[in-house]
A and B are shown apart, each in its own frame.
Chain A
Amino acid sequence: MNRFPLKPATALLAATLLAACSANAPKEAQPAPQVRQVTQSAHCGLTGPGVAPVSSPEALENLLGVSGQNMATGVIRQVDLASEQLIIVTLGQKPTAGYSVGLQDVQWQEPVLKLAMQVNSPAPDMMVAQVITSPCVVLAVKGDHWQRLEVSGLTPQPIVKTAGK
Chain B
Amino acid sequence: MVLVSGMAVLAGCGGGGSGSSVPALPPSPLSGVISIEANSRVDQDTMNQLGLEGAQVATGTQALPASFVLAGYVSGAAGTYPSASAQCQPFAYAEDAVDEYSVPLAAGETLVLESFGSCLADPELELVVEGAGPLSASVNAGPARYTLTAGDSTEYRVTVRNTGNAPARYILAKSVAFGAEGMAFDWPRYRFIEGEAVVALADDDTVRAAMATPAAEKARALGAGEWLMTMPGNRVRSAQAGPVAEDTLNWIRELRATPGVLSATPNYVVSSQQTGTPVSEPLYTRQWHYDLINGPAAWQLAPGGGAGVNVAVLDSGLLRLPSGAWHPDLDSNVQSRPAYDFVDNDTIPADPGSSVGGDVFHGTHVAGTVAAVVNDAGSGGVAYGAGLVPVRVLGEGGTGSSADLIAAINWLVAGSGGQPYADVVNMSLGGLPRIQDLEDAIAKGVGKGMVFVAAAGNAATSTLSYPAASPNVLAVSAVDGGGQLAGYSNFGSWIDLAAPGGDASRDGNLDGAGDVVWSTSGERDGGVSIAGYRGLQGTSMASPHVAGVLALMKARDPAMNYDKVRVWLQGGQMTDGQARRNDTLGWGVLDAARAVSAAGSGFADTILSASPALVSLSNEGEQSVSVELSVFGDGNVSNLSLGDMPAWIDVTGCQSAPPCALQVTLIKDQLTPDEPARGSIVVNYQVDGASADPLSIPVIGQLVSDEQARNAGRHFVLLVNTEPNEDNLYMAESQVTLDAENGVYSFRFENDDGEEPQQLREVRPGDYYLVAGSDLDGDGIICQPGEACAEYPITGLREVITIEEGQSLSDIRLTTGFSRPTISAASPDILPRPGFQGYQLRAPETQTGPADNRIRMTQ
**Can you name the residue of chain A whose Cβ is closest to the Cβ of B525?**
A74
Assess whether B4 is interfacial by the CB under 8 Å rule: no
The answer to whether B405 and A100 have CB atoms under 8 Å apart is: no
Assess whether A34 is interfacial by the CB under 8 Å rule: no
The answer to whether A130 and B457 have CB atoms under 8 Å apart is: yes
The answer to whether B316 and A70 have CB atoms under 8 Å apart is: no
User: Bound state CA distance, A115 and B525, in angstroms?
Assistant: 29
**Can you name the residue of chain A whose Cβ is closest to the Cβ of B542?**
A130
Assess whether A99 is interfacial by the CB under 8 Å rule: yes
Report how many residues on chain B are interfacial, defined by Cβ distance under 8 Å: 64
Binding stretch for chain A, among B233-241, B801-809, B825-833: B825-833
Could you say which of B141, B488, B785, B835 contacts A95, with CB atoms under 8 Å apart? B488
Assess whether A126 is interfacial by the CB under 8 Å rule: yes
Could you say which of B356, B459, B505, B541 contacts A120, with CB atoms under 8 Å apart? B356
From residue 453 to 506 of chain B, which have CB atoms closer than 8 A to chain A? Answer: 455-460, 488, 504-505
The answer to whether B433 and A98 have CB atoms under 8 Å apart is: no
- Nearest CB of chain A from residue B508's CB, rounded to whole Å: 16
From residue 765 to 808 of chain B, which have CB atoms closer than 8 A to chain A? Answer: 785
The answer to whether A68 and B825 have CB atoms under 8 Å apart is: yes
User: Bound state CA distance, A9 and B355, in angstroms?
Assistant: 10
The answer to whether A58 and B836 have CB atoms under 8 Å apart is: yes
Assess whether B131 is interfacial by the CB under 8 Å rule: no
Residues of B within 8 A of A71 (CB): 358
Known: A77-B140, A99-B357. A68 touches B535 (CB 8 A): yes
Q: B354, B456, B523, B535 — which one has the most chain A CB atoms within 10 A of its CB?
A: B354
From residue 19 to 59 of chain A, which have CB atoms closer than 8 A to chain B? Answer: 39-43, 45, 47, 54-59
Known: A96-B458, A98-B397. A131 touches B823 (CB 8 A): no
Known: A42-B357, A132-B538. A96 touches B398 (CB 8 A): yes
The answer to whether B429 and A65 have CB atoms under 8 Å apart is: no
- Nearest CB of chain A from residue B171's CB, rounded to whole Å: 12
Assess whether A17 is interfacial by the CB under 8 Å rule: no
What 1/0 mask marks residues of chain A from 56 to 91 whose CB sits below 8 Å from any chain B CB? 111101110111101111100111100000000000
User: Bound state CA distance, A33 and B358, in angstroms?
Assistant: 26
The answer to whether A62 and B833 have CB atoms under 8 Å apart is: yes
**Can you name the residue of chain A whose Cβ is closest to the Cβ of B393?**
A127
Residues of A within 8 A of B514 (CB): 67-68
The answer to whether A66 and B523 have CB atoms under 8 Å apart is: no
Residues of A within 8 A of B402 (CB): 127
Residues of A within 8 A of B398 (CB): 42, 96-98, 128-129, 131
User: Bound state CA distance, A77 and B116, in angstroms?
Assistant: 12
13 additional contacts, CB 8 Å, given A120-B397, A131-B360? A39-B358, A59-B835, A62-B832, A78-B141, A79-B140, A96-B431, A99-B357, A100-B356, A125-B432, A129-B394, A130-B457, A131-B538, A135-B358
Residues of A within 8 A of B834 (CB): 54, 56, 59, 62
User: Bound state CA distance, A41 and B359, in angstroms?
Assistant: 7
- Nearest CB of chain A from residue B474's CB, rounded to whole Å: 14
User: Bound state CA distance, A94 and B785, in angstroms?
Assistant: 33
**Can you name the residue of chain A whose Cβ is closest to the Cβ of B832?**
A62
- Nearest CB of chain A from residue B215's CB, rounded to whole Å: 44
From residue 131 to 169 of chain B, which have CB atoms closer than 8 A to chain A? Answer: 139-142
The answer to whether B357 and A130 have CB atoms under 8 Å apart is: no
Q: List 25 A-B contacts (CB under 8 A).
A: A40-B356, A42-B357, A42-B397, A57-B785, A62-B834, A65-B824, A67-B825, A68-B516, A68-B536, A70-B359, A77-B140, A78-B141, A120-B357, A125-B431, A127-B400, A127-B429, A128-B394, A128-B399, A128-B431, A129-B394, A129-B429, A129-B538, A130-B430, A130-B543, A132-B504
- Nearest CB of chain B from residue A21's CB, rounded to whole Å: 30
- Nearest CB of chain B from residue A83's CB, rounded to whole Å: 11
Known: A40-B358, A127-B432. A95 touches B822 (CB 8 A): no
**Can you name the residue of chain B whose Cβ is closest to the Cβ of A99?**
B357
**Can you name the residue of chain B whose Cβ is closest to the Cβ of A66?**
B823
The answer to whether B140 and A78 have CB atoms under 8 Å apart is: yes
Across the A-B interface, the 10 shortest Cβ-Cβ residue pairs:
A97-B398, A67-B824, A41-B358, A100-B357, A129-B398, A95-B458, A130-B455, A131-B538, A65-B822, A130-B540
Residues of B within 8 A of A66 (CB): 822-824
The answer to whether A132 and B822 have CB atoms under 8 Å apart is: no
Q: A63, A65, A97 — which one has the most chain B CB atoms within 10 A of its CB?
A: A97
- Nearest CB of chain A from residue B462's CB, rounded to whole Å: 14
Assess whether A122 is interfacial by the CB under 8 Å rule: yes
Residues of B within 8 A of A80 (CB): 140
Residues of B within 8 A of A59 (CB): 832-835
Known: A59-B834, A70-B358, A97-B362. A127 touches B142 (CB 8 A): no
Assess whether A107 is interfacial by the CB under 8 Å rule: no
What 1/0 mask marks residues of chain A from 100 to 135 whose CB sits below 8 Å from any chain B CB? 101000000000000000001010011111111101
- Nearest CB of chain B from residue A94's CB, rounded to whole Å: 9
- Nearest CB of chain A from residue B395's CB, rounded to whole Å: 10
A residues neighboring B (CB under 8 Å): 8-9, 39-43, 45, 47, 54-59, 61-63, 65-68, 70-74, 77-80, 95-100, 102, 120, 122, 125-133, 135
Residues of B within 8 A of A45 (CB): 824
Could you say which of B358, B456, B824 contacts A42, with CB atoms under 8 Å apart? B358
Residues of A within 8 A of B356 (CB): 8-9, 40, 100, 102, 120
Assess whether B702 is interfacial by the CB under 8 Å rule: no
Residues of B within 8 A of A133 (CB): 357, 360
Residues of A within 8 A of B394 (CB): 97, 127-129
- Nearest CB of chain A from residue B842's CB, rounded to whole Å: 22
What 1/0 mask marks residues of chain B from 392 to 411 whose CB sits below 8 Å from any chain A CB? 01100111111001000000
User: Bound state CA distance, A62 and B836, in angstroms?
Assistant: 11
**Can you name the residue of chain A whose Cβ is closest to the Cβ of B360?**
A42
Residues of B within 8 A of A97 (CB): 360, 362, 394, 397-399
Could you say which of B365, B393, B455, B505 contacts A47, with CB atoms under 8 Å apart? B505
The answer to whether A95 and B142 have CB atoms under 8 Å apart is: no
User: Bound state CA distance, A54 and B834, in angstroms?
Assistant: 8
Assess whether B315 is interfacial by the CB under 8 Å rule: yes
The answer to whether B534 and A95 have CB atoms under 8 Å apart is: no
User: Bound state CA distance, A74 and B523, in angstroms?
Assistant: 12
Assess whether B248 is interfacial by the CB under 8 Å rule: no
User: Bound state CA distance, A100 and B459, in angstroms?
Assistant: 17
Could you say which of B431, B458, B833, B836 contacts A127, with CB atoms under 8 Å apart? B431
- Nearest CB of chain A from residue B521's CB, rounded to whole Å: 8
What 1/0 mask marks residues of chain B from 336 to 367 whose CB sits below 8 Å from any chain A CB? 00000000000000000010111110100100
Assess whether B379 is interfacial by the CB under 8 Å rule: no
The answer to whether B399 and A127 have CB atoms under 8 Å apart is: yes
From residue 503 to 536 of chain B, which have CB atoms closer than 8 A to chain A? Answer: 504-505, 514, 516, 523, 525, 534-536
**Can you name the residue of chain B whose Cβ is closest to the Cβ of A40?**
B357
Residues of A within 8 A of B393 (CB): 127
Assess whether B67 is interfacial by the CB under 8 Å rule: no
Assess whether B539 is interfacial by the CB under 8 Å rule: yes
Residues of A within 8 A of B538 (CB): 96, 129-132
**Can you name the residue of chain B whose Cβ is closest to the Cβ of A77?**
B142
**Can you name the residue of chain B whose Cβ is closest to the Cβ of A68?**
B504
- Nearest CB of chain A from residue B327's CB, rounded to whole Å: 16
The answer to whether B536 and A127 have CB atoms under 8 Å apart is: no
- Nearest CB of chain A from residue B463's CB, rounded to whole Å: 11
The answer to whether A129 and B428 have CB atoms under 8 Å apart is: yes
Residues of A within 8 A of B525 (CB): 74
**Can you name the residue of chain B whose Cβ is closest to the Cβ of A47?**
B505
The answer to whether B429 and A132 have CB atoms under 8 Å apart is: no
User: Bound state CA distance, A57 and B834, in angstroms?
Assistant: 10
- Nearest CB of chain B from residue A124's CB, rounded to whole Å: 8
Could you say which of B354, B357, B433, B536 contacts A132, with CB atoms under 8 Å apart? B536
Assess whether B537 is interfacial by the CB under 8 Å rule: yes
User: Bound state CA distance, A132 and B505, in angstroms?
Assistant: 12
Known: A56-B834, A127-B432. A67 touches B360 (CB 8 A): no
Residues of B within 8 A of A98 (CB): 397-399
The answer to whether B835 and A128 have CB atoms under 8 Å apart is: no
**Can you name the residue of chain B whose Cβ is closest to the Cβ of A56?**
B835
**Can you name the residue of chain B whose Cβ is closest to the Cβ of A79?**
B140
